[in-house]
Amino acid sequence: MLRSLGLGSAAIGVGSVLSSPRLSANTAQTPSGPVRNPYIYAFHIGDLEAWSISDGFMKFGQGLDLMYPESERPAMKAALEGIYEPADFLPLYVNVLVIRSDREVMLFDAGFGISERADRGWLMEGLAEIGIQPEAVTAAFLSHAHGDHQAGFIAPDGKPMFPNAAIHTTPEEYNFWRQKEHDFSKSRRNPKAIPGMIRKAQERFEILGDRVQQTKAGSRLFGGTVTIENGFGHTPGHALYRIESAGESLFHIVDSVHHHMLMFRDPKWSIGLDHTPKLAVETRQCIFAQAAQSRTRCYGFHIPWPGIGHIAQQGSGYAWIPERQWWQCRCS
Ligand SMILES: [Zn+2]
């Protein structure tokens, strides 16, 4: 209809839009591949500019076979069916939080790194799109040394991706990976995969060198803008981050949660990727109780993008309440 009205009729305006070079080029071509949906979400925490950039996603094909305790899998399946979610794979999002203050550009974990795979490695494109060059990142936070959090700190040429960034990680995390012997006796990971995971973490720490700063849980950085908190259990030194500005806050709960429903429904339901499962559950219970009681705005690394929301008490467990999305514009 528009076409028949508009073409050849610049006088009514529609025609001039339709005949613009950009639009005619777009309409003339068949898209060559799937369109990537929006993956950059801008918001604020007080006076801080913030972005949630999706670095991609993971689909764990083991589905509920990756969840514990085993005896609870039928209950988990029923819970997934109740919210129309598949049970044959677990969807995990990969969300990188970026914050800009008047002095710092901060990155909270770095995702998978640039990848040939289409489903991951989007962070650097996202940073470019919001006008942040790698050199501009001044402070980075490595919550733990798993590949989906640490690999993005290394560029494809094997050098540090963010040359001017101090990378804060807890001494417990740093020392665990750097030591010679590693106790994985409580982990449910496939034993065959563990040596490779350790080697890669060590190699990345080697490349990052003295850019890595061991910063203890409880530390307050940048005048109290970021407080590092103890999230131990998922890994030996897993860190959480409380970000505060002008009376507002965001609590980055990182990998204390992996699925957006299961771990909330029952915090004792766990993914088989935790280093110390019992401690990971205790940490999660503590975080949920505190966040629900204090109505704290939260952010999750693996929660559906953009990953901002609240934790509410529901029945004997909890629920993730995603925050309604909103726009950034020069409008009131
Ligand atoms: Zn993770």
Q: Domains of the chain: which residue ranges?
A: 1-30, 40-322
pTM for the model stands at 0.90
CA distance 233 to 144: 11
Kindly indicate the confidence band of residue 265, based on its pLDDT and cuts at 50, 70 and 90.
Answer: very high
CATH of 40-322, one of 3.40.190.10, 3.30.70.260, 3.40.50.300, 3.60.15.10: 3.60.15.10
Average pLDDT over residues 146-163: 98
DSSP category for residue 35: P
How many C-beta atoms surround the C-beta of residue 33 within 10 A?
Answer: 6
Instruction: List strand residue ranges (DSSP E) for the chain, in order.
Output: 40-45, 48-60, 67-68, 90-100, 105-108, 139-141, 166-169, 212-214, 220-221, 226-230, 239-245, 248-254, 270-271, 298-300, 308-314, 317-322
Q: How far is the CA of 72 from the centre of ligand 1 (A)?
A: 23
In percent, the amount of the chain with pLDDT more than 90 equals 86
115: left (phi over 0), alpha (psi -120 to 50) or beta: beta
Distance from Cα 71 to the centre of ligand 1, integer Å: 25
Rounded to the nearest angstrom, the distance between the alpha carbon of 81 and the centre of ligand 1 is 25
Average pLDDT, the chain: 91
- Using the predicted structure, report yes or no on whether residue 5 has a pLDDT greater than 70: no
**What is the rounded average pLDDT of the residues 307-316?**
97
| Gap from CA of 23 to ligand 1 centroid (Å) | 40
List b or e across 61-90, with b for residues whose CB sees 16 or more CB atoms inside 10 angstroms. Answer: eebbebbbeeebbeebbebbeeeebeeeeb
DSSP labels, 43-92: EEETTEEEEEEEEEEEEETTGGGGEE-GGGHHHHHHHHHHTT--SSSEEE
* Residues 245-259, mean pLDDT to the nearest whole number: 98
How many angstroms does the Cα of residue 31 sit away from the middle of ligand 1?
A: 33
pLDDT digits (tens, 9 = 90+) for 10-30: 333 333 333 344 444 444 455
pLDDT class of 330 with cuts at 50, 70, 90: low
- Assess whether pLDDT exceeds 90 at residue 274: yes
pLDDT value at residue 29: 55
Grade residue 31 by pLDDT with cuts at 50, 70 and 90. low
How many other C-beta atoms lie within 10 A of the C-beta of residue 6?
Answer: 17
Q: Which residue has the higher pLDDT, 10 or 198?
A: 198
Q: How far is the CA of 246 from the centre of ligand 1 (A)?
A: 30
Question: In angstroms, what is the span from residue 148 Cα to ligand 1's centroid?
Answer: 6
pLDDT above 70 covers what percent of the chain?
89
Residues 6+ away with beta carbon under 8 Å from 25 = none
- Strand 270-271 relative to strand 317-322: parallel, antiparallel, unpaired? unpaired
* 96 CA distance to ligand 1 middle (Å): 11
> What pLDDT is stored for residue 34 in this prediction?
76
**Ligand 1 midpoint to CA 301 (Å):** 7
CA of 257 to the centre of ligand 1 (A): 9
CA atoms of 213 and 239, how far apart (whole Å): 13
Residue 39 has pLDDT above 50, yes or no: yes
Sole residue written with tokens 């589905």: 63
Residues, the chain:
332
Question: What was the pLDDT predicted at 332?
Answer: 58
Distance 260 CA to ligand 1 centre (A): 13
User: What is the distance in A from the centroid of ligand 1 to the CA of 255?
Assistant: 5
Determine the pLDDT at residue 35. Answer: 82
Minimum mean pLDDT among 29-33, 227-231, 260-264, 287-291: which range?
29-33
Task: Determine the distance separating the centroid of ligand 1 and the alpha carbon of 289, expressed in angstroms.
Answer: 22
Q: How much distance in Å is there from the Cα of 29 to the middle of ligand 1? A: 38
Q: How far is the CA of 234 from the centre of ligand 1 (A)?
A: 9
